[in-house]
């Protein structure tokens, strides 16, 4: 049984998504924020996709421990029994309850106690413990403990290559959340979606690369790319902010984002255009099928929730065209889902 953590109010959306993907499996909302499933997430040739799962605990087990020392002992036993001594591994330990610092302090004390126990029992495991939020490699195992209360939690020990194989739903970020970026110089807060998608993908727009930014005005996504030293072709009917329009690395094309065609294969397709979900889905599929870009970040915007099932088309048709494909509701998203990845 797998345990899935979702956003507040996202339980039913995730449940519907699971039912569409695995109609014969058993899924249920266990409690607020948590959905359980026996869907075969670790089987099949491609990584599973769940847009409304914030984090996935593969073979997650609900467990209890009355004290910090006993939590540390339970963790130590699970790690020593399962994690290969010579391979890298990561630990995600976080409080999934309440507010304030009490939960974080408790997790910090559990981690300290665990470190002491591993130092005494299996010191080698401390040498292979990674402290990183880069994408999980195929040799890296992942140990997760989310405390639902001081004495109750969910424990998952996923041995490599499972975390890598399921990387589209097993986040390298504890809790599956990315802190929303701050940039007071950006034209709008929309820039945070682009920055978060880059972090989740593990690749940043770089100096000298070429980006097409569809529906670019007022220019927040172009702002990020230009700041990184990329060349930007910005497409919109309205101009970008004045300082961006003056940037020599920006070429502004006044026109319809859905009709624009670049005269070369570009490094990045960026699209945060306001449009119906189906139009944005069709646009991304067209660019993928015609091999117009190496990487992409595309927002799919919704009104309400009735059209959420449309994202299943991307799972079926876009994912096979990509070396890496992610479909998720970003921490910086509102009623949106973001598709991002690397073309084959």
State whether residue 167 is helix, strand or coil: coil
The verdict on pTM exceeding 0.85 is yes
* Residue 130: C-alpha distances to residues 47, 85, 143, 169, 294 (Å): 23, 13, 11, 20, 29
Domain ranges of the chain: 2-176, 191-343
* Residue 108: C-alpha distances to residues 57, 97, 105, 175 (Å): 20, 15, 5, 15
CATH of 191-343, one of 3.40.50.150, 1.10.760.10, 1.10.8.60, 2.160.10.10: 3.40.50.150
**Which pLDDT tens digits describe the chain residue by residue (344 residues)?**
999 999 989 999 999 999 999 999 999 999 999 999 999 999 888 889 999 999 999 999 999 999 999 999 999 999 999 999 899 999 999 999 866 677 889 999 999 999 999 999 999 999 999 998 899 999 999 999 999 999 999 999 999 999 999 999 999 999 999 988 889 889 999 999 999 999 999 999 999 999 999 999 999 999 999 999 999 999 999 999 999 999 999 999 999 999 999 999 999 999 999 999 999 999 999 999 999 999 999 999 999 999 999 999 999 999 999 999 999 999 988 899 999 999 98
- CB distance 74 to 27 below 8 Å: no
> What angle (nearest 5°) sits at the alpha carbon of residue 167, between those of residues 328 and 331?
30
- CB distance 258 to 237 below 8 Å: no
For 88, the token pair is: 């890298």
Environment class of 334 (CB within 10 Å of its CB; exposed 0-12, middle 13-18, buried 19+): exposed
Q: Which of 124, 123, 142 is nearest to 132 (CA)?
A: 142
- CB distance 218 to 260 below 8 Å: no
* DSSP per-residue letters across 264-325: S-EEEEEE-----HHHHHHHHHHHHHTT-EEEEEEEEE-SSSTTGGGHHHHHHHTGGGEEEE
User: Quick one: which H or E segment has residue 317?
Assistant: helix 311-317
CATH of domain 2-176: 3.30.2130
d(CA 144, CA 56): 9
For 53, the token pair is: 């799962």
- CB distance 340 to 221 below 8 Å: no
> What angle (nearest 5°) sits at the alpha carbon of residue 88, between those of residues 162 and 41?
10
The residue whose two tokens read 């424990």 is 155
In this predicted model, what pLDDT tens digit does every residue of 227-272 receive, in sequence order? Answer: 999 999 999 999 999 999 999 999 999 999 999 999 999 999 999 9
* Residue 167: C-alpha distances to residues 94, 200, 209 (Å): 19, 10, 26
In this predicted model, what pLDDT tens digit does every residue of 101-148 receive, in sequence order? Answer: 778 899 999 999 999 999 999 999 999 999 988 999 999 999 999 999
Q: Where are the beta strands (DSSP E) in 96-207?
A: 141-149, 152-158
Find the Cα–Cα–Cα–Cα dihedral 261, 263, 265, 268, rounded to 10°. Answer: -60
Tell me which long-range contacts 237-243 makes (C-beta under 8 A, separation of at least 24): 240/187, 240/216, 241/187
For 342, the token pair is: 């690397």
Count of residues in the chain: 344
Environment class of 260 (CB within 10 Å of its CB; exposed 0-12, middle 13-18, buried 19+): middle
- CB distance 194 to 24 below 8 Å: no
């Amino acid at each position: 049984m797998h345990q899935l953590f979702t956003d507040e109010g996202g339980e039913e959306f995730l449940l519907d998504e699971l039912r569409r993907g695995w109609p014969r499996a058993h899924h249920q909302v266990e409690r607020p924020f948590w959905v359980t499933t026996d869907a075969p997430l670790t089987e099949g040739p491609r990584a599973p996709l769940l847009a409304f799962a914030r984090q996935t605990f593969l073979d997650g087990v609900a467990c209890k421990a009355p004290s910090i020392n006993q939590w540390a002992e339970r963790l130590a036993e699970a790690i020593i029994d399962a994690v290969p001594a010579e391979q890298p591994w990561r630990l995600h330990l976080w409080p999934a309850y309440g507010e304030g610092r009490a939960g974080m302090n408790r997790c910090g004390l559990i981690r300290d106690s665990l470190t002491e126990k591993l130092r005494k029992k299996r010191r080698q495991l401390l040498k292979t413990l990674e402290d990183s939020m880069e994408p999980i490699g195929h040799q890296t195992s992942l140990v997760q403990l989310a405390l639902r209360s001081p004495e109750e939690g969910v424990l998952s020990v996923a041995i490599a290559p499972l975390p890598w194989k399921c990387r589209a739903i097993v986040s390298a970020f504890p809790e599956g959340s990315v802190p929303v970026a701050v940039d007071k110089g950006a034209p709008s807060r929309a820039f945070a979606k682009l920055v978060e998608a880059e972090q989740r993908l593990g690749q940043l727009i770089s100096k000298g690369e070429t980006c097409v930014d569809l529906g670019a005005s007022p220019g927040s996504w172009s702002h990020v790319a230009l700041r990184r030293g990329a060349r930007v072709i910005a497409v919109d009917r309205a101009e970008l902010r004045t300082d961006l329009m003056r940037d020599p690395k920006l070429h502004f094309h006044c026109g319809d984002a859905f009709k624009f065609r670049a005269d070369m294969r570009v490094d990045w397709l960026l699209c945060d255009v306001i449009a119906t979900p189906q139009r944005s889905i069709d646009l991304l599929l067209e660019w993928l099928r015609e091999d117009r870009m190496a990487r992409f970040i595309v927002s799919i915007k919704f009104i309400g929730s009735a059209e959420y099932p449309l994202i299943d088309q991307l799972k079926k048709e876009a994912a096979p065209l990509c070396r890496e494909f992610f479909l998720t509701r970003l921490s910086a998203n509102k009623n949106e889902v973001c598709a991002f990845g690397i073309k084959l």
